[in-house]
Chain A
């Protein structure tokens, strides 16, 4: 008798817990829904604003659906030729910096992965990484005057390509080290024994195996350089203008041209979004500095 009572009691208890968990579950799902709304509403508003007329964006009561569709905004953005050249400038700087970061980072990353002792040990690797974590405030002012004294000046592609190494080179080095470590040393050794010389062994065996990692590092560096704002804002502006510093300047007289600004933003966010969707798995590894396998 007592036993049956116990079981019955246990059953009600279990039922109660289950009931409570169902409630919690709904609470959590509501929260997730709220967060989706919070995340997507600004993007949604950005998108519809891009299709509005300039007049509609300045109504005293903002509309949540365009009264009239103006897809020509996306063309109108480029009526100002500097806007297109800003995308080109950004592209040149991001790509140049990525190539440089990847080249230098792969060299050091390979050395850290294969010859940790000769390359200065893990402390050296961590020092490299720490450069990414420090605030750039200490370097910007002196670098400004340093570049001012070079023949190409601060307002040039090359100044930003070099400056962006501050954050992308440590990242590329560190991540390439992580990816090179994933390739067992013995594979290269087997290649030596097969008769391949070191460089050939690297090209035949290690490089193909590390290539996916390398591509994801490149993409990550590219996105960071493409989206950089602070350095660009201080260094360039007249000869060279990256799209990130152009965006806050869409004004006509005292009026901000929100519709064109949002249309331009939408265009500029396409490359990073596409890269992210394609390389999502590798991105997580890169964003977490190699600690979390995506």
Chain B
């Protein structure tokens, strides 16, 4: 084999360009589009990208910089803050407060995100399978979605009101129904986090519910007719047809709730302010508290960057999955 021939074969393997392609093909320049200049798409995308760079990327870099310094409010603008290496991270990672807040986050992720998707899916399927009138379905959907249309501040104050231990409506109702015999102290240590989770489940279960319901509606009826002809029981139909076909839809609902859960902090603010005694704090809440209320900016920045890093991993994984789903649907 001559060297030239060998080269051609190697390039064919590496670049997938058979050496038999005509000369003009390898020599060609990218032809100029006739209708819309190549610059237009770049301009169209450029403006939004610049905006996001300014309001997302710049602040993130700012935070990263200050996470390595002993910045506080007194010398933030004078620039007299000194580099402290990874000291801020060490402080955060070794603090009891951070560990506790991670545990709270784990509880919240499980009950706030997973449970909502589970309940939402169950409710969506119940509504679709057992309610046959379209009017009833639409009405119940609208009623169940109402909490989702409320801002966190209303949800928070409303539930703080409902859960007031001494004369709250929930305690009174449970007493009247004979379910409990004495008032539950909803905002004591150990309970307050659960109060927040209850409010959040009330607030957001409708999202997975809506998404799964719409997914179920668009499943082809032919599959179900075929299953009925084959004499498959309801349980089998659910396990072998409905759930597998709704897999992607449920996963998307889960992704949305899970990433939202990482951002979640506002109900903590409104309902408990992290208390009592920091028993319902989430990492994000501490970051805000340290940064904006107590102006320990270096430490807050370390919190922020840690949270950012964790969610970067999760968001990347989720987006990969979403890309696959959208490819399968021909959307991307």
Q: Give which listed residue, A130, A162, A288, contacts B55 with CB less than 8 A.
A: A162
For the complex, give the distance between the alpha carbons of A245 and B270 in Å: 10
Q: Which of B42, B55, B284, B332 contacts A163 (CB 8 A)?
A: B55
Q: Could you tell me if A291 and B325 are in contact, using CB atoms closer than 8 angstroms?
A: yes
Residues of chain B from 15 to 67 with CB closer than 8 A to chain A in the complex: 35-36, 38, 40-42, 44-45, 47-49, 51-52, 55-56, 58-60, 62-63
List chain B residues, Cβ under 8 A from A43.
Answer: 146-147
Q: Chain A 81-102, CB within 8 Å of chain B: the 1/0 string?
A: 0000000000000000000000
Distance from A152 Cβ to chain B, minimum over Cβ atoms (Å)? 15
Binary contact readout A60-87 vs B (1 if CB under 8 angstroms, 0 otherwise):
1110100000000000000000000000
A198, B36: Cα distance in complex, Å: 7
The answer to whether B151 touches A226, judged by C-beta atoms less than 8 angstroms apart, is yes
> Contacts of A104 on B, CB cut-off 8 Å?
47-48, 51
Contact A142 B62 (CB under 8 A): yes
A179 to chain B, nearest CB (A): 11
Question: Contact partner of B269 among A143, A223, A233, CB < 8 A?
Answer: A233
* Cβ B55 vs Cβ A110 within 8 A: no
Q: Is A290 an interface residue (CB 8 A)?
A: yes
A139 sits at the interface (CB 8 A):
yes
| CB interface residues, A 122-164, toward B, < 8 Å | 122, 124-126, 128-131, 133-146, 162-163
Residue of B nearest to A272 (CB): B149
Query: Which residues of B lie under 8 Å from residue A163 when comparing CB positions?
Result: 55
Interface range on chain A (Cβ under 8 Å from partner): 35 or more
Whether the Cβ atoms of B48 and A135 lie closer than 8 Å is no
Cβ-neighbour of A142 out of B59, B166, B233 (below 8 A): B59
Q: Which residues of B contact A136 (CB under 8 A)?
A: 263
Kindly list chain B residues whose C-beta atoms are within 8 Å of the C-beta of A21: 234
Given contacts A140-B292, A289-B252, is CB(A58)–CB(B167) below 8 Å?
yes
B305 at the interface (CB under 8 A from A): yes
Interface assignment of A107: CB less than 8 Å from any CB of chain B: yes
Q: Determine whether B173 belongs to the interface, using a CB cutoff of 8 Å to chain A.
A: yes
The answer, yes or no, to whether A59 is at the interface (CB within 8 Å) is yes
Residues of the B chain whose Cβ atoms lie less than 8 Å from the Cβ of A258: 161
Q: Within 8 Å of chain B (Cβ to Cβ): is A200?
A: no
Inter-chain CA distance A136–B47, complex, in Å, is 21
Shortest C-beta distance, A7 to chain B (Å), equals 14
Cβ of B156 within 8 Å of any chain A Cβ, yes or no, is yes
B318 at the interface (CB under 8 A from A): yes
The complex places the Cα of A170 from the Cα of B63 at a distance, in Å, of 21
B112 CB–A CB distance under 8 Å: no
Instruction: Let me know if B144 and A268 touch, CB within 8 A.
Output: no
Give the chain B neighbours of A262 by CB distance below 8 A.
158, 161
How far is the CB of A44 from the nearest CB of chain B, in Å?
9
**A229 to B312, Cβ gap below 8 A?**
no
B158 & A46 in contact (Cβ 8 Å cutoff):
yes
Question: Whose C-beta in chain A lies nearest to the C-beta of B320?
Answer: A126
Q: Contacts A169-B51, A291-B326 hold; do A118 and B38 have CB atoms under 8 A apart?
A: yes
Does B44 lie within 8 Å of A290, measured CB to CB?
Answer: no
**Cross-chain contact A126 with B323 (CB below 8 angstroms):** yes
Q: From A60, A131, A165, A289, give the contact of B167 (CB < 8 A).
A: A60
Q: How far is the CB of A48 from chain B (nearest CB, A)?
A: 10
A107-B44, A119-B41 given; A292·B153 CB < 8 A:
no
In the complex with contacts A166-B56, A269-B154, A119-B127 CB distance below 8 A: no
Given A169-B48, A265-B150, A293-B218, residue A135 in contact with residue B36 (CB < 8 A):
no
- Ranked nearest first, the 9 interchain pairs of A and B with the lowest CB-CB distance are A227-B151, A111-B44, A115-B41, A139-B59, A142-B59, A118-B41, A142-B62, A272-B149, A133-B259
Give the interface of B toward A (CB within 8 A): 35-36, 38, 40-42, 44-45, 47-49, 51-52, 55-56, 58-60, 62-63, 76, 119, 122-123, 126-127, 130, 138, 140-147, 149-154, 156-159, 161-162, 166-169, 172-173, 202, 207, 210-211, 214-215, 218, 233-234, 248-249, 252-253, 256, 259, 262-263, 265-266, 269-270, 284, 287-288, 291-292, 297, 300-301, 303-305, 307-308, 311-312, 315-316, 318-319, 322-323, 325-326, 329, 331-332
Give 29 A-B contacts (CB < 8 Å), ordered by A residue: A28-B130, A35-B119, A42-B159, A43-B147, A62-B168, A64-B173, A104-B47, A111-B41, A126-B323, A128-B52, A130-B316, A134-B311, A135-B284, A137-B307, A138-B60, A138-B304, A138-B307, A140-B59, A141-B291, A165-B52, A170-B52, A248-B270, A261-B161, A265-B158, A269-B146, A273-B146, A284-B211, A287-B211, A289-B256
